[in-house]
């Protein structure tokens, strides 16, 4: 334990940023594997998962060590506990990307049901939310974190739109039901990713301001229906 405390905090931040980059890649690749019907990209997401899980364990380990040995106060304490929570949300986003590719691997064996527009857009939005939430974390930028929270509505809206559209397909032609169900699952994983990105942004707000905003602004449930 001879290293300066600041250096250890910097290591923790770096690990979290590597983890976030890997998670962002998984979000993008999971939906590209579906849109471009590429099994190789799906396999890459499955391989990424191990890496993401290892990053999660690393962040937890660094955090527990710092809590035990450095006995940090106030701002540093909030930084460490926030980083641990953020890692846990990132890990879940990685799991959701795995869920998407599991659907993708099935869906690409049948002819496409429809051109995909909203689902790639949802992936783009979710990825942007993760990216900006982490920027907000690094820069301690409360305003950016709040902006991320607000973007959750756009993803929810797209998810509802996808749901209604696919329900119409299913009602019109029962042969579309299995594929439509697959796409519905994909859409919901993306909605849940945006929800986890929102959790991260809420953790950043807490870290920066000391104010807990979860359970405050949101009348709607934080766990999306899926």
Report the interface residues with a copy of itself, using CB under 8 A. 49, 53-54, 56-57, 60, 64, 67-68, 71, 73-74, 77-78, 81, 84-85, 88, 92, 95-96, 98-99, 102-103, 167, 170-171, 174, 177-178, 181, 185, 188-189, 192, 212, 214-215, 221-226
- Min CB(16)–a copy of itself separation in Å: 16
The residue (of 69 and 138) whose beta carbon lies closer to a copy of itself is: 69
CA–CA gap between residue 117 and residue 98 (Å, rounded): 21
CA–CA gap between residue 187 and residue 82 (Å, rounded): 28
- Min CB(62)–a copy of itself separation in Å: 13
Mind giving me the DSSP string for 75-143? HHHHHHHHHHHHHHHHHHHHHHHHHHHHHHHHHTTS--SS--SHHHHHHHHHHHHHHHHHHHHHHT-HH
- Min CB(140)–a copy of itself separation in Å: 18
- Min CB(184)–a copy of itself separation in Å: 8
- 3-class SS of residue 212: coil
The residue (of 135 and 140) whose beta carbon lies closer to a copy of itself is: 140
Q: What tokens appear for 11 in the block?
A: 């290591």
């Amino acid at each position: 334990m001879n290293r300066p405390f600041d250096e250890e905090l910097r290591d923790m931040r770096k690990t979290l940023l590597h983890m976030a980059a890997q998670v962002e890649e998984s979000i993008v690749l999971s939906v590209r594997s579906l849109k471009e019907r590429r099994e190789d990209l799906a396999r890459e997401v499955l391989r990424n998962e191990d890496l993401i899980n290892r990053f999660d364990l690393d962040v937890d380990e660094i955090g527990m060590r710092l809590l035990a040995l450095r006995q940090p106060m106030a701002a540093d304490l909030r930084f460490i506990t926030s980083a641990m929570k953020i890692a846990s949300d990132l890990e879940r986003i990685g799991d959701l990307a795995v869920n998407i590719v599991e659907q993708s691997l099935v869906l690409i064996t049948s002819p496409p049901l429809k051109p995909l527009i909203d689902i790639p857009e949802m992936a783009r939005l979710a990825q942007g939310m993760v990216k900006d939430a982490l920027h907000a974390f690094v820069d301690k930028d409360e305003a950016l974190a709040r902006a991320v929270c607000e973007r959750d509505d756009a993803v929810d809206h797209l998810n509802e739109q996808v749901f209604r559209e696919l329900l119409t397909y299913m009602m019109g032609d029962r042969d579309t039901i299995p594929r439509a169900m697959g796409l519905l699952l994909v859409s919901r994983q993306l909605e849940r990713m945006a929800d986890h990105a929102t959790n991260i942004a809420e953790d950043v707000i807490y870290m920066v301001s000391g104010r807990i905003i979860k359970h405050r602004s949101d009348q709607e449930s934080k766990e999306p229906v899926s």
